[in-house]
Amino acid sequence: MRLSELFIALIFALSPLQLQAVVVLSEVMFDPGGEESSDEFVELYNDAALPVQLAGWTISDGEGTDTLVSTGQGLTATPRQYILILDPDYIEDGSVTYDGLVPENALIVTISNGTFGSRGLSNSSGEIVSIQNMGGNLISEYRYSVGNESGHSDEKVRLNLGNDTTNWHNSIALQGTPGFRNSVTPPDRDLGVISLQANPEYPSIGGIYHFEILIKNFGLQSLSSNITVNADSIGFGQFYQLQSEVLNAVSAGDCTSVVDSIVMPQTGIQQIRAEIELVDDDSSNNVMTVLVSSQALEAGLRINEIQYAPITGRAEWVELAVAGTLPVSTRGMKITDGQGIADTMVRVQLPDWVIQPGEFVIISADSTIFLEVIPLVTQVAVLSTSVITLNNNGDSIAVFTPNGEMLDRVDYRANWGNDELGVSLERVSFDSPQITKAIGVQAWTSMARHRDA
């Protein structure tokens, strides 16, 4: 027997059971975002290394049975091919819901009757969708769960595993994923950095601290890679390499860690960056950078300007600045604005900024802050509107360290700004002896101007 004849004989010998057993249900769209009468679909996947003949195969919802019918592409599923079973009305009525979504390499088939089962796939109670081969043998079945948002199918997570409910999730993608990889299926190759933590959290200047990098394999394949750890002792992104380590065969779903030590420099600021050196399916999680700082750098942060009564269409804002010659790290620091004078209970965390002497940052609760003319070097944060709401008749603003110590507080009154809209309050000097307490009007002056003036 020639080799080609032997190969063909093997295909036919395997096809009744072995090949068909690897055709799996992969997606059920029972509540489409388009027309209910035409846009339901069921998807299969041929997980075999050989083609599978689907002639005579049937699909059932437990109440009615339909035979698979060709749409002109035939009924042979090639290896690793998705098979999209469309409602006949999708083709006959000219629906376009999935146009542009279905890839050319998908096999599109339909069914012999006018709808799936007896009355279509139910939206009110889950039905068992099953596939049988020509001989009536059960190939795959799954009871879908209702309650999905309209236009979101049930998708199988890992196609090579079973059909229990833990391996099926609601589709992330609107309209599902007809004829291509499911949106809930993890990528094949994806190592990611999930955390980078320093211990102690706020090291002392000149002291040794440890850091731990946690890496997880989010993909389906076991992966190996190098991870490079870099440090920046200035906070300006000027990194130098600390170490490079090999990550050996991290299994799918598993985690591994890298631990090292470093001295906190005299600057009191350090950035640590971990980078996975691997070409994978999702590079967005291959790099993580964290700011590590000493609490010695917190003391210089001050409230410098307040706009509590802007003109119509403009934003309230608070400006922070550095008092002294050392930079300030705002990591873990909070700003507060309560309901009135002396109320500092509601606090919101500041972004992780490094502010150099002579630089300013602006806090606002409204994106219209960007209508102001602000220097490009000035960092701006738009925080929650529920926290930063400055009262025109007087209010308290305070800044706190990570351990809850108050660094600065201003209890302003309406008459500080002469009760005029558009007037900001500017700090006169950082030399006030009451910088950690409520500061009186003598330390502030009003400026009847805007940043676009």
Percent of the chain with pLDDT over 70: 88
Instruction: With respect to residue 177, please indicate whether it lies within any of the assigned structural domains.
Output: no
Which of the listed ranges 41-45, 247-251, 269-273, 448-452 does the model predict with the highest average pLDDT? 41-45
Q: How far is CA 55 from the centre of its chain?
A: 43
Same-domain status, 201 and 260:
yes
Predicted confidence (pLDDT) at residue 254 exceeds the cutoff of 60: yes
The pairs formed by 120-125 with CB atoms below 8 angstroms and a separation of 24 or more are: 120/36, 120/37, 120/40, 120/87, 121/28, 121/29, 121/30, 121/31, 121/40, 121/61, 122/30, 122/61, 122/146, 123/30, 123/31, 123/36
pLDDT band of residue 415 (cuts 50, 70, 90) is: confident
Cα–Cα distance, 221 to 251 (Å, whole number): 7
Same-domain status, 227 and 362:
no
pLDDT at 194: 97
Mean pLDDT over 330-359 rounds to 83
Instruction: With respect to residue 453, please indicate whether it lies within any of the assigned structural domains.
Output: no
Predicted confidence (pLDDT) at residue 182 exceeds the cutoff of 90: yes
Mean pLDDT over 303-329 rounds to 89
Instruction: With respect to residue 175, please indicate whether it lies within any of the assigned structural domains.
Output: no
pLDDT at 11: 43
Domain ends where: 105, 138, 170? 170
Predicted confidence (pLDDT) at residue 436 exceeds the cutoff of 90: no
Domain containing residue 243: CATH number? 2.60.40.10
Q: What is the mean pLDDT of the chain?
A: 87
- What is the SS3 assignment for 305? strand
pLDDT at 10: 42
* CA–CA distances in Å: residue 71 to residues 85, 108, 112, 250, 424: 10, 7, 11, 44, 71
Mean pLDDT over 346-370 rounds to 89
Cα–Cα distance, 236 to 103 (Å, whole number): 46
pLDDT band of residue 21 (cuts 50, 70, 90) is: low
pLDDT band of residue 294 (cuts 50, 70, 90) is: confident
Mean pLDDT over 42-48 rounds to 96
Same-domain status, 439 and 320:
yes
- What is the SS3 assignment for 251? coil
Q: Which positions ≥6 away from 42 have C-beta within 8 Å?
A: 25, 27, 28, 29, 59, 85, 116, 129
Cα–Cα distance, 212 to 426 (Å, whole number): 43
Percent of the chain with pLDDT over 90: 58
Instruction: With respect to residue 252, please indicate whether it lies within any of the assigned structural domains.
Output: yes
Same-domain status, 335 and 410:
yes
Same-domain status, 443 and 303:
yes
pLDDT at 159: 94
Same-domain status, 387 and 321:
yes
Asked whether the beta carbons of 24 and 131 are under 8 A apart, the reply is no
Please state the domain count of the chain: 3
pLDDT band of residue 434 (cuts 50, 70, 90) is: very low
Asked whether the beta carbons of 225 and 244 are under 8 A apart, the reply is no
Q: Which positions ≥6 away from 45 have C-beta within 8 Å?
A: 23, 24, 26, 80, 81, 82, 83, 159
Same-domain status, 267 and 334:
no
DSSP string, 18-69: IIGGGEEEEEEESS-SS-TTT--EEEEEE-SSS-EE-TT-EEE-SS-EEEEE
Instruction: With respect to residue 383, please indicate whether it lies within any of the assigned structural domains.
Output: yes
Domain ends where: 101, 135, 170? 170
Query: Higher confidence at residue 235 or residue 153?
Result: 153
Cα–Cα distance, 271 to 144 (Å, whole number): 48
Same-domain status, 367 and 444:
yes
Asked whether the beta carbons of 212 and 292 are under 8 A apart, the reply is no
The residue range of the domain holding 302 is 298-448
Asked whether the beta carbons of 196 and 228 are under 8 A apart, the reply is no
Same-domain status, 417 and 400:
yes
- What is the SS3 assignment for 371? helix
Cα–Cα distance, 380 to 251 (Å, whole number): 42
Cα–Cα distance, 215 to 406 (Å, whole number): 37
Burial of 330 (0-12, 13-18, 19+ CB in 10 A): buried
Domain containing residue 162: CATH number? 2.60.40.1260
Lowest mean per-residue pLDDT among 303-312, 338-347, 405-414: 338-347
φ/ψ of residue 426, rounded to 5? -115, 140
Mean pLDDT over 173-187 rounds to 97
* CA–CA distances in Å: residue 45 to residues 59, 131, 146, 285, 424: 14, 12, 22, 29, 65
Mean pLDDT over 54-83 rounds to 96
Strand 379-382 to 360-364 pairing: parallel
Instruction: With respect to residue 291, please indicate whether it lies within any of the assigned structural domains.
Output: yes
Domain ends where: 263, 295, 327? 295
Cα–Cα distance, 286 to 270 (Å, whole number): 20
Same-domain status, 228 and 288:
yes
Predicted confidence (pLDDT) at residue 84 exceeds the cutoff of 50: yes
Same-domain status, 165 and 196:
no
Same-domain status, 82 and 126:
yes
Mean pLDDT over 66-84 rounds to 97
Mean pLDDT over 204-211 rounds to 94
Instruction: With respect to residue 323, please indicate whether it lies within any of the assigned structural domains.
Output: yes
pLDDT at 7: 43
Within 10 A of 52 (CB to CB), how many other CB atoms are there? 26
Distance in angstroms between the alpha carbons of the first and the last residue of the chain: 92
Tokens 């320093």 belong to 198
pLDDT at 450: 41
Cα–Cα distance, 446 to 453 (Å, whole number): 15
Lowest mean per-residue pLDDT among 106-110, 185-189, 191-195, 341-345: 341-345
Cα–Cα distance, 170 to 184 (Å, whole number): 8
- What is the SS3 assignment for 382? strand
Instruction: With respect to residue 271, please indicate whether it lies within any of the assigned structural domains.
Output: yes
pLDDT at 189: 96
Which H helix or E strand runs over 10?
helix 3-14
Mean pLDDT over 234-249 rounds to 85
Predicted confidence (pLDDT) at residue 15 exceeds the cutoff of 60: no
Query: Higher confidence at residue 440 or residue 256?
Result: 256
pLDDT at 432: 53
Take residue 286 and report the two structure tokens written for it: 């291959």
